[in-house]
């Protein structure tokens, strides 16, 4: 709408004018430069149309010119023999293809959960705790129940539903043999409440206003308890205990143990080192901040429950809901086709799904629950904050002898993920030790967020190694090439290896040798610097199914259990099916996003949709082709059905995605302002299925990483324990004015796995971005920024930003 308004008054805007006009528009995917390029391209098309109005419907900007406008540097094929077999061109896959459902999206025909309207539907609101830690002594909802239009109210006294996906201990053990000894179980409503924003009660009413009024009539008597917000503070002996067992999070075996990983003998490694360096880094709580807040619509028909919900995995969400409500899975239907972003906090079922379902059951009518932006920030999980202590030993020639990490991850009061801190095992080092404590605090719960443990871990580890290279007077790239591992944890071979090639291509495109200089060497208040970080990332695994139906009309209907979290999964599956079947894309129809109509899929998490579900589509297509060869094409009312559920094995290998990011920043030493001036992202993601969406993934992830490095932090008042900036404006997510141009280089390789050689992509692009920007700031200023985000006040004051890594006296 902003672009249309601009074109109405300025028929030929420049890129800067388009960017300024859309500055107020937020896109969490962060592909701002796409919108700028599209607006400029639309103005060019308008000019062409005015010159030839008869061809108005036929004027289009070609996909190739669109890619050029959006700064994709080539469709580069790797020449490195170790990268795998050469990539040959295919007929459908690998060509820039607009989304097959683009018209539905831009016209408003796409149905999101908030768009669902059912006859007699009620509207729900949730009363949330204003305190970070409190015991509920009494709830009086009598006045609320008496309010005309209120149909149902639930609290911890009336709704004892366990939210299994809300915590590891409560989830994985809920219906297994350890159920009777499970501790630290999370319910849809808990007493005591353990973070500000935790649900206390929920109301269903005839409209949102009545539901909101009813919340104001619920009287809650709290006993305020002490709280703790910082993960290190929570580890102190005198810290308040959030759970009776203490503040070290229990794993799914009810053990209060750190996450540990050891190789070799670190003590011996440090003894053999010529140099030993130590330092501390911290990362903040960063919310996923997806465009679409959580919502759910629940509808009972007898004993059958249908839930419309934005979820990254309809099959797993159905299983979660069925488990929590103690129902057979076949009695639960989950529907989600379109959703406004995920980034990890919509992978499982949410408390909104359960609250809506229980309210709908009690009220006897469908119930819709939509969270506000503020509620989404304080009530739905984000990335866990970390404190990281590193100790690194190495020889005079820069060879690593030992790496040690002691870390603390703030999990909030419930543990939804491991709380790990990744990054140590990407270095070739014979002696390593990682010990990370997942710690309970009274902040909002932490969980999955694009590359869960890696952006924060790579920031700490690769900032530390950048500092070590500086102390050893080595070029950071030379240090990386010397010490990065060529095998997974120095032991297991990769299916292919292309990290050296990624770094070499990135150096050339960025002009690294010319741009990089001694840290803090520039004169005057405006300083420029360059930074680098690399990526080696292993995606999740899992099994997915696919079914393909061919009728006599020649239409191929592909049934897959995916949803579209924003990355274009429906189009990706159609491209893979068309290529595998050898038919035009127009012959393919995709059925998706409905557990009653789709087979099982592992879900859109762990960067595995394309590789796992895509593999199933390829296998089903081969089965169908075999049937056609045997039986011929169907005629009349006949149909052919093919299905597949492959379980590919890597046979003693590990399959990783590789990449390297290079950033140039400009730092204003007087204002503390940081601008990213140039950015190059090189990725080997195997074969690129669709360059248009692949480019979006790489750019969006990199820009999200830049935001994590420079802006984003959910701040809490230490006295009240309440979030102070829960929303887009306060959290400072990137806008059009913040987004630099990003050059993307794809190095395609085929290791013989995945659909046509494709690898994972969605999470990988964010992981190195944070460290690349932080290292560039150090190169510009000579001051090591150890605490995220790197805000203006930290640059100006040097708070916790002095040069690090003082060598241990030997």
Position 807 pLDDT exceeds 60: no
DSSP structure class, residue 385: P
Angle between helices 769-781 and 454-471 (to 10 degrees): 30
Rounded to whole angstroms, how far apart are CA atoms 749 and 81?
A: 10
Q: Which residue has the tokens 């944890």?
A: 489
Q: How far is CA 11 from CA 3, 58, 59, in A?
A: 11, 20, 17
Burial classification of residue 59, based on how many CB atoms lie within 10 Å of its CB (0-12 exposed, 13-18 middle, 19 or more buried): middle
CATH 3.30.365.10 domain range(s) in the chain: 63-90+492-540+651-706+744-803, 113-128+134-225+289-379, 546-644
Rounded to whole angstroms, how far apart are CA atoms 436 and 451?
A: 17
Q: Name residue 199's beta-bridge partners.
A: 128
Burial classification of residue 49, based on how many CB atoms lie within 10 Å of its CB (0-12 exposed, 13-18 middle, 19 or more buried): middle
Position 255 pLDDT exceeds 90: no
Name the pTM for this structure. 0.92
pLDDT at 181: 52
Q: Average pLDDT, stretch 139-159?
A: 98
Position 179 pLDDT exceeds 60: no
CB 340 within 8 A of CB 309: no
Summarised one tens digit per residue, pLDDT across range 59-109 is: 333 444 444 444 443 333 333 333 344 578 999 999 999 999 989 988 899
| Residue 53 confidence class, pLDDT cut points 50, 70, 90 | very low
Summarised one tens digit per residue, pLDDT across range 643-663 is: 999 987 788 899 999 999 999
User: Which phi and psi (to 5°) does residue 222 adopt?
Assistant: -105, 145
Average pLDDT, the chain: 89
Length of the chain measured in residues: 810
Q: Supply the Cα-derived Rg of the chain in whole angstroms.
A: 27
Q: What angle do CA 231, 232, 236 make, to 5 degrees?
A: 115
pLDDT at 799: 32
Q: Average pLDDT, stretch 714-735?
A: 92
Joined together, the tokens standing for residue 730 give 């306060």
User: Which phi and psi (to 5°) does residue 159 adopt?
Assistant: -130, 100
Summarised one tens digit per residue, pLDDT across range 309-342 is: 999 899 999 999 998 999 999 999 999 989 988 8
Percent of the chain whose pLDDT exceeds 70:
91
CATH assignment of 113-128+134-225+289-379?
A: 3.30.365.10
CATH assignment of 63-90+492-540+651-706+744-803?
A: 3.30.365.10
Per residue, the 3-state secondary structure of 315-329, as one string, reads HHHHHHHHHHCCCCH
Question: Of 45, 63, 59, which is closest to residue 575 (Cα–Cα)?
Answer: 63
Q: How far is CA 432 from CA 262, 362, 403, 455, in A?
A: 6, 55, 5, 20
CB 322 within 8 A of CB 420: no
Q: Tell me the H-state helices in 290-349.
A: 314-324
Rounded to whole angstroms, how far apart are CA atoms 7 and 46?
A: 9
CB 703 within 8 A of CB 455: no
**What is the Cβ-side half-sphere exposure of residue 777, based on CA atoms within 13 angstroms?**
35
| Residue 554 confidence class, pLDDT cut points 50, 70, 90 | very high
Question: Of 219, 198, 130, which is closest to residue 720 (Cα–Cα)?
Answer: 130
How do beta strands 546-551 and 526-538 pair? unpaired
The verdict on domain 546-644 having CATH code 3.30.365.10 is yes
Rounded to whole angstroms, how far apart are CA atoms 441 and 427?
A: 32
pLDDT at 143: 98
pLDDT at 800: 39
- Sequence-distant (6+) residues with CB within 8 A of 120 are 365, 366
- Lowest-pLDDT range, 52-56, 108-112, 376-380, 543-547? 52-56
Q: Average pLDDT, stretch 40-52?
A: 67
Q: How far is CA 609 from CA 79, 148, 387, 560, 746, in A?
A: 28, 47, 32, 10, 19
Q: Average pLDDT, stretch 6-21?
A: 89
| Residue 55 confidence class, pLDDT cut points 50, 70, 90 | very low
User: Which phi and psi (to 5°) does residue 475 adopt?
Assistant: -60, 130
Angle between helices 614-631 and 569-581 (to 10 degrees): 30
Across 68-77, 490-499, 630-639, the highest mean pLDDT is recorded for 630-639
Q: How far is CA 619 from CA 526, 626, 644, 755, in A?
A: 57, 11, 6, 9
């Amino acid at each position: 709408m902003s672009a249309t308004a601009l074109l109405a008054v300025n028929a030929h805007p420049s890129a800067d004018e388009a960017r300024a006009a859309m500055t107020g528009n937020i896109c969490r995917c962060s592909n701002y430069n796409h919108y700028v390029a599209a607006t400029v391209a639309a103005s060019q098309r308008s000019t062409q149309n005015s010159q030839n109005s008869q061809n108005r419907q036929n004027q289009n900007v070609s996909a190739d010119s669109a890619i050029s406008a959006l700064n994709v540097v080539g469709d580069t094929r790797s020449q490195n023999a170790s990268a795998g077999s050469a990539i040959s061109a295919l007929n459908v896959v690998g060509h820039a293809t607009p989304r097959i459902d683009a018209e539905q999206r831009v016209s408003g025909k796409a149905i999101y959960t908030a768009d669902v309207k059912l006859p007699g539907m009620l509207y729900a609101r949730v009363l949330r705790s204003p305190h970070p830690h409190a015991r509920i002594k009494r709830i009086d909802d009598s006045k609320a129940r008496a309010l005309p239009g209120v149909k149902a109210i639930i609290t911890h006294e009336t709704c004892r539903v366990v939210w299994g996906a809300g915590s590891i201990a409560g989830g994985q053990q809920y219906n297994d043999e350890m159920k009777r000894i499970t501790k630290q179980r999370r319910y849809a409503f808990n007493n005591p409440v353990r973070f500000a924003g935790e649900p206390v009660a929920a109301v269903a009413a005839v409209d949102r206003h009545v539901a909101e009024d009813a919340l104001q009539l619920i009287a809650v008597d709290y006993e305020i308890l002490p709280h703790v917000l910082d993960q290190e503070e929570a580890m102190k002996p005198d810290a308040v205990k959030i759970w009776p067992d203490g503040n070290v999070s229990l794993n799914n075996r009810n053990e209060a143990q750190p996450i540990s990983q050891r190789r070799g003998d670190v003590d011996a490694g440090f003894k053999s080192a010529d140099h030993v360096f130590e330092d501390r880094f911290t990362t903040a709580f960063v919310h996923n901040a997806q465009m679409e807040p959580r919502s759910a619509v629940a509808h009972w028909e007898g004993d059958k429950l249908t839930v419309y919900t934005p979820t990254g995995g309809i099959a797993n969400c159905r299983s979660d809901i069925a488990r929590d409500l103690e129902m057979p899975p076949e009695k639960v239907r989950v529907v989600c086709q379109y959703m406004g972003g995920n980034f990890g906090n919509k992978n499982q079922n949410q408390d909104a799904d359960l609250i809506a379902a229980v309210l709908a059951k009690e009220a006897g009518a469908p119930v819709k629950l939509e969270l506000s932006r503020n509620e989404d920030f304080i009530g739905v999980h984000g990335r866990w904050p970390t404190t990281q202590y590193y100790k690194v030993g190495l020889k005079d020639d820069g060879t690593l002898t030992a790496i040690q990490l002691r870390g603390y991850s703030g999990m909030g009061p419930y543990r939804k993920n491991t709380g790990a801190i990744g990054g140590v095992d990407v270095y070739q080092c014979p002696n390593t030790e990682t010990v990370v404590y997942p710690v309970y605090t009274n902040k909002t719960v932490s969980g999955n967020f694009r590359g869960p443990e890696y952006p924060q871990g790579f920031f700490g580890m690769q900032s530390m190694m950048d500092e070590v290279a500086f102390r050893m007077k080595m070029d950071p790239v030379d240090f990386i090439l010397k010490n990065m591992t060529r095998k997974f944890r120095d032991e297991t071979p990769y299916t292919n290896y292309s990290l050296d090639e990624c770094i070499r291509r990135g150096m050339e495109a960025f002009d690294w040798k010319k741009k990089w200089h001694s840290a803090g060497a520039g004169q005057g208040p405006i300083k420029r610097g360059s930074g680098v970080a690399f990526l080696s990332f292993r995606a999740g695994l899992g099994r997915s199914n696919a079914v393909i139906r061919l009728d006599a009309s020649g239409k191929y209907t592909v049934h897959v259990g995916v949803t579209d979290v924003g990355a274009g999964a429906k189009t990706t599956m159609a491209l893979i099916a068309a290529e595998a079947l050898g038919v035009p894309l127009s012959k393919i129809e995709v059925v998706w996003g409905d557990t009653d109509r789709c087979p099982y899929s592992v879900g859109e998490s762990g960067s595995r949709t394309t590789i796992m579900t895509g593999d199933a589509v390829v296998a089903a297509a081969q089965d169908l082709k075999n049937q056609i060869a045997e039986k011929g094409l169907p005629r009349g009312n006949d149909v052919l059905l093919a299905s597949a559920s492959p379980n590919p094995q890597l046979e003693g290998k590990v399959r990783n995605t590789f990449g390297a990011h290079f950033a140039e920043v400009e730092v204003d030493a007087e204002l503390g302002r940081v601008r990213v001036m140039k950015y190059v992202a090189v990725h080997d993601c195997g074969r690129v299925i669709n360059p248009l969406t692949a480019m979006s993934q790489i750019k969006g992830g990199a820009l999200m990483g830049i935001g994590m490095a420079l802006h984003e932090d959910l701040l809490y008042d230490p006295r009240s324990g309440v979030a102070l900036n829960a929303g887009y404006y306060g959290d400072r997510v990137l806008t059009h004015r913040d987004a630099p141009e990003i050059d993307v280089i794809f190095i395609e390789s085929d290791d013989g796995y995945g659909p046509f050689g494709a690898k994972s992509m969605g999470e990988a692009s964010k992981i190195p971005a944070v460290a690349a920007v932080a290292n560039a700031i150090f190169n510009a200023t000579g001051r090591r920024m150890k605490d995220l985000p790197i805000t203006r006040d930290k640059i100006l004051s040097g708070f916790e930003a002095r040069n690090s890594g003082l060598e241990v006296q030997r």
